[in-house]
Structure 1
Amino acid sequence: MTSSERRTVPGGLVWFDEPTPPRATEQLSRERIVNAAVELADDQVPGEITMRALAARLGVRSPMALYRYVGSKDGLVDLMTDQVYGQISVPQGHGWRHALQGLGRTGWDAVQRHPWFARLAFSRPPMGPNALHVYDTALAELEPLGLDATTRMGFINTALGHVLGSGLALLEEQAMRARVGLHSDSDLEAAAAPYLERIAAAGKHPHFISWATDPQRLAPEPQSFEQVLEWLLDGLATLLPPEDRPPA
């Protein structure tokens, strides 16, 4: 298959063909397009963008001019998600748990800055250079444990899955709040109060009502991202050989 034939495959990853983008102009380059796309997605609550809106942001008359630099809308998604993978880091030299803690925490920081990343990361395989660096570095930190290939990747995907799952929940919550106008927790509590009062008066779901009316239910914050990450790592530690498990 020739290079030109490979580039006609619908939905092909931009990394597979690595077409050389045209020479940068004052208005356009691959870097400028990707940066503008990330900024545009950050400005939209659902994080969804169109090539037409992106062209307008860049001051370009036709969206078709952008395709010469990114190949396709899918190619743009590949580039956007890999740019955010570049914000995730894996600490080295301090053991597997410290490595996955760092992956999880920097990943959570990244999805809080760019909630749309969690949705797009599930839509395209993580094959860009930044994504591969994250996986390669994490696998290197797991190498001394002597685990099989499936389990090593399972460790990484457990931590990264927590990042992306939490990011999707954040994205959907932000979209819901924008849609219905409940911008703060106090707004949501005020809207729900009459409904909960009716449930309580009817004697329904008493255990839930007892929890919902407990003033200490959020002190300390339940199931923070960091707490759940530690629980997950505790569970992964049970798969290690006895000599590599932390002391009880």
Structure 2
Amino acid sequence: MAQERSLPPVVQRMWGREPTPRRGPRPRLDLATITAAAIEIADAEGLAAVSMGSVASRVGVAATALYRYVDSKEDLLTAMADAVAPEPPDPAGMHWRDYLALWVRAHRDLILQHAWVLSITVYAPPMGPRRLLWLDRAIAALAGTGLDDGEKINVASTLTGYALTDAALEHTAKSGFPELDGSGIEGASDYGEVLAEVLDPEAYPALSVAVRAGAFSGAEGWVEDADFRFGLDLLLDGVEQLIARRQGR
């Protein structure tokens, strides 16, 4: 017998499908209030400061009262990862490439603004209303391109992965690399100079040439906006080529 499929309870509540009791006092809380409090704590003190106790204290209830809305801290994190997303940019009137460039940058900047999101399992398929709204807008921007629905979703997933990866790299670079403490390596230029000293041209012929030609020179830090734009244009060029092939069928 096939198992009945259903959304996890916390996701059902995120969609407003929590059953309303017919009797008894009206609940003092709701999932949105609890999640907003948890996000405030994470933004101010980091994700480690978020606990059922700290959130309960902020909303003025006993920790046990939260379990009516979230079964565990993991459920709370799931709700936080969705609720932190604002409204996505509106694709109306924009060319698909311009919109997706804006969409990816907004996605990346959102994660940098709330870097604790990187510590939550965000690689699972989106199920919450806010994250799915971002997916919807990306798909809508690709209307009329000749891509099928599955290809549109794959494009959005690939761009989401790029936004996450770039945000993680930038966040780590700004926080500093522990393994480089005391090395004097402050940025990509310093890194390139050190590599030039240790790379053996016979073992690393291509990398040695690139490093000695100044591939890492001139960079002020580890990550620059030009690097982000380069990667984004590379991906969007690929989408453009795919669209051209589909339209030429």
Fold similarity call, TM over 0.5: yes
Structure 2 unaligned blocks of 5 or more? 202-207
Matched with 1:146 is: 146
The whole-number CA distance in structure 2 between the counterparts of 1:163 and 1:213 is 24
TM-score, reference length from structure 2:
0.69
Matched with 1:19 is: 18
Matched with 1:111 is: 111
Structure 1 unaligned blocks of 5 or more? 1-5
The whole-number CA distance in structure 2 between the counterparts of 1:21 and 1:155 is 39
User: 1:11-90 counterparts in 2 under 5 A?
Assistant: 12=8, 14-16=10-12, 18-20=17-19, 23=26, 25=28, 28-45=29-46, 49-60=50-61, 62-90=62-90
85-94 or 231-240, larger mean C-alpha shift: 85-94
SS of 2:186's equivalent? helix
The whole-number CA distance in structure 1 between the counterparts of 2:112 and 2:158 is 19
Residues 52, 63 of structure 1: 8 Å contact kept:
yes
Distance 1:33 1:237, change over 3 A: same
Distance 1:176 1:59, change over 3 A: farther
Residues 81-119 of structure 1, C-alpha deviation per residue, up to 9 Å, x if partnerless?
A: 222333432422222212211211111221111112244
TM-score, reference length from structure 1:
0.70
Distance 1:214 1:108, change over 3 A: closer
Residues 13, 78 of structure 1: 8 Å contact kept:
no
Matched with 2:233 is: 230
Alignment-mate amino acid for residue 216 of structure 1? G
SS of 2:236's equivalent? helix
Distance 1:170 1:38, change over 3 A: farther
Alignment-mate amino acid for residue 36 of structure 2? N
Distance 1:166 1:121, change over 3 A: farther
Question: Structure 1 residue 215: deviation in Å?
Answer: 5.1
Matched with 1:216 is: 218
Identity across matched positions, percent: 28
Aligned pairs, how many?
227
The whole-number CA distance in structure 2 between the counterparts of 1:203 and 1:105 is 35
Alignment-mate amino acid for residue 38 of structure 2? A
Alignment-mate amino acid for residue 164 of structure 2? L
Correspondence 1:189 to 2:186: yes
SS of 2:79's equivalent? helix
